[in-house]
Chain A
């Protein structure tokens, strides 16, 4: 579905990604783990079109999307939930969801999808008229994910959904990611919480200082000593 081929990306003067390649097959949950500043968010931003690769290519559903405008990429079915949620704090929960469907014209379908998001996240239904800036971190994460789902993505990019959340909430969020995946959306998940990420992923890539240093199935990486000591808090 997605094939990233040897991309080089600069973030200002910083050479943030160096020849990164990875692929994601339809229906998978693929996770990208690595420490702070390894280039995980840069990769997602490049996939969603916020950043342009200097070199290399990104193939999505058989066509190149490298350097395409963001709105074209969203239209093609890639939605990006950015790090830190980035909900529109000055707007209500429902307005945020409507903005998620900005490129769609089917009013009826949008209405139905808003109801679906409320089914997935009942907390949002309770707060639909509330300004999203007043939500808790967990609720904002739910809103950011619901908002991304409003574009009916085929591929969902999630950047650190567990950041700053209590363990119980992290679990709830990850259950929902699995549910979203079961209903047919492919997921590329960036996480620092490698334990959680590997527990729901099919495959994983490990990224260090802008390079993919390791990849394999989630089970393989969970068993790898190197990963255990560096990311899973083992010995």
Chain B
């Protein structure tokens, strides 16, 4: 499961982390009881300050998406899965991509090829 942040994006980094983990939990990619990396590990891997990851985790805890476990660290809390969330997220992401491809002037086949390449690249990574 991969997390990506963009330091140059207008959205604060902690919010990017929070939103992506929330999405992974809401769509069932991260299941109840599953452990999240420690604050130190995630901060080092992403090259951000520990306070940034800590803030994201605090917000997730406040939203009851995760809970702190004394023995296991931060784990995914019990969340009711909404089957429509994944479809809605995918549609929104596709719409955003379609707009960007249109603005660039890419043809339909070029845009689809770019998506396929990105999916393959993601599969290759761990």
On whether the two chains bind one another, the answer is no
* Interface, chain B (partner A; CB < 8 A): none
